[in-house]
């Protein structure tokens, strides 16, 4: 009973956090996005009379477009709207490619025989976990390459993550808290999954986890 109560509490806390993420993402996208779009339309009505005004107008348009792109990027980072439209495979492929391009890290991503119609709860949890793992690699690992694979094994999503970074001492509780392992463990526990971490200084970082596809809990 205690374990079940703990799982329900974790699920409730995670769901509350996701609801707040969604609210913030929509506010950012709708309010700031609307402001930038209105400014862009207003600038299009201006008729530059001199070369200087023309240059200033062009620079202003460029800055506004940069702002629009930033709003889109931030809102999508807060909540991955693409999951509903594109599915987990394409969303993760796009995400890992963008991280690779921005960071210069070689990211190899594989997605094999995973059902296209996944439980949205499992899909979102998988995305969040990979997001957390990549953030940890970017912040702490000093890695040059990352390998990520998702596959279907006996009704479970199997995720394997490996980087070639500096590694960490997983016996150090402060380090475990700092690199978000507790967050990942909480998500996996709430979905009746299993997760294992292996790492040591100089040996990179590895994560293997399993989540049941038929999980019905909400996060």
CATH 3.30.565.10 fits domain 83-212:
yes
Residue 167 has pLDDT above 80, yes or no: yes
Least confident segment among 78-87, 182-191, 201-210: 78-87
Q: pLDDT tens digits, residue range 52-71?
A: 667 767 777 777 777 776 66
Can you tell me the mean pLDDT for 149-174?
89
Can you tell me the mean pLDDT for 186-201?
90
Can you tell me the mean pLDDT for 115-129?
85
The model carries a pTM of 0.68
Supply the pLDDT for residue 140.
Answer: 87
Among 92, 106, 99, which Cα is nearest to 144's?
A: 106
Domain ranges of the chain: 2-78, 83-212
Can you tell me the mean pLDDT for 30-48?
65
């Amino acid at each position: 009973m205690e374990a079940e109560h703990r799982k329900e509490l974790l699920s409730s806390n995670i769901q509350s956090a996701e609801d707040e993420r969604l609210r913030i993402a929509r506010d950012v996208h709708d309010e700031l996005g609307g402001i930038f779009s209105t400014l862009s339309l207003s600038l299009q009505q201006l008729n530059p009379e001199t070369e200087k005004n023309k240059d200033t107008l062009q620079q202003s348009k460029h800055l506004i477009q940069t702002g629009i792109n930033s709003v889109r990027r931030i809102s999508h980072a807060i909540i991955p709207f693409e999951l509903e439209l594109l599915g987990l495979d394409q969303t993760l492929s796009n995400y890992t490619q963008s991280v690779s391009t921005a960071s210069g890290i070689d990211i190899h991503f594989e997605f094999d025989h995973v059902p296209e119609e996944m439980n949205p709860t499992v899909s979102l949890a998988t995305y969040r976990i990979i997001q957390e793992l990549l953030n940890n690699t970017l912040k702490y690992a000093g890695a040059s390459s990352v390998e990520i694979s998702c596959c279907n094994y006996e009704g479970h999503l199997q995720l394997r993550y490996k980087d070639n970074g500096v590694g960490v001492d997983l016996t150090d509780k402060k380090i475990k808290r700092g690199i978000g392992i507790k967050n990942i463990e909480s998500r996996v526990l709430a979905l009746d999954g299993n997760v294992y971490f292996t790492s040591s200084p100089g040996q990179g970082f590895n994560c293997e986890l399993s989540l049941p596809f038929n999980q019905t809990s909400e996060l």
